[in-house]
C-alpha cells in the first residue's frame, strides 16, 4: 500500500498526497479510505510498525537496530510493538530441539540426580 503511495515521487515528496499533488495534512480519513480500497478495513497505521518489528526480529536484526529504525527510545515501548505469537513460541521450541539433536546434548540443568556428573556438579556448587 505504501509502495503505491510513493510511486513516482521524489525522496523529499510527501507520502500521502491528493490526486492533484497537494499533501494530505490529516491523513486519518485518507488512511481509512486507502485501507478500505485495499481490502483491509480497520488496519491501523501502527499495525505496520508492529509488523516491521516482528519481521526485523525474525530476520535476526539486533533489537537495538530495530529500535532505532522504528523510533522506539525505550525497551518497554519496543516490547509493546514486538508482538510474540504462538507460532514464534513454537518456532523457538523447534529450534531448541534441532540444536539439541545436532549437538547430541541437552542444554541447561541435568535432572538425573543419581548420575555421577550430577553428584560432581552438586559438590562443586557447595564448594563455590
φ/ψ of 10, rounded to 5, equals: -80, 165
Q: Say yes or no: 17 and 55 in one domain.
A: no
Nearest-angstrom CA–CA distance, 31 and 69: 22
Does any domain span residue 75? yes
Domain that holds residue 72: 45-103
The count of structural domains within the chain is 2
Q: Say yes or no: 61 and 93 in one domain.
A: yes
Q: Say yes or no: 8 and 49 in one domain.
A: no
pTM: 0.49
Does any domain span residue 16? yes
Q: Say yes or no: 31 and 49 in one domain.
A: no
Look-up of cell digits 555421577: 116
Residue-wise pLDDT for 76-126, tens only, equals 888 887 777 788 888 889 988 888 888 877 666 555 555 555 555 555 555
- pLDDT greater at residue 127 or residue 6: 6
Does any domain span residue 119? no
Amino acid at each position: 500500500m505504501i509502495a503505491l503511495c510513493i510511486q513516482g515521487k521524489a525522496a523529499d515528496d510527501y507520502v500521502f498526497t491528493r490526486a492533484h499533488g497537494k499533501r494530505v495534512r490529516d491523513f486519518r480519513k485518507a488512511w481509512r479510505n486507502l485501507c478500505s480500497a485495499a481490502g483491509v478495513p480497520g488496519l491501523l497505521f501502527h499495525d505496520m510498525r508492529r509488523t516491521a518489528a516482528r519481521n526485523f526480529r525474525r530476520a535476526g536484526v539486533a533489537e537495538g537496530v530495530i529500535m532505532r529504525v522504528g523510533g522506539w527510545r525505550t525497551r518497554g515501548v519496543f516490547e509493546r510493538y514486538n508482538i510474540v505469537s504462538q507460532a514464534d513460541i513454537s518456532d523457538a521450541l523447534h529450534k531448541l530441539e534441532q540444536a539439541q539433536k545436532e549437538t547430541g546434548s541437552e542444554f541447561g540443568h541435568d535432572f538425573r540426580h543419581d548420575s555421577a556428573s550430577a553428584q560432581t556438579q552438586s559438590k562443586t556448587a557447595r564448594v563455590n
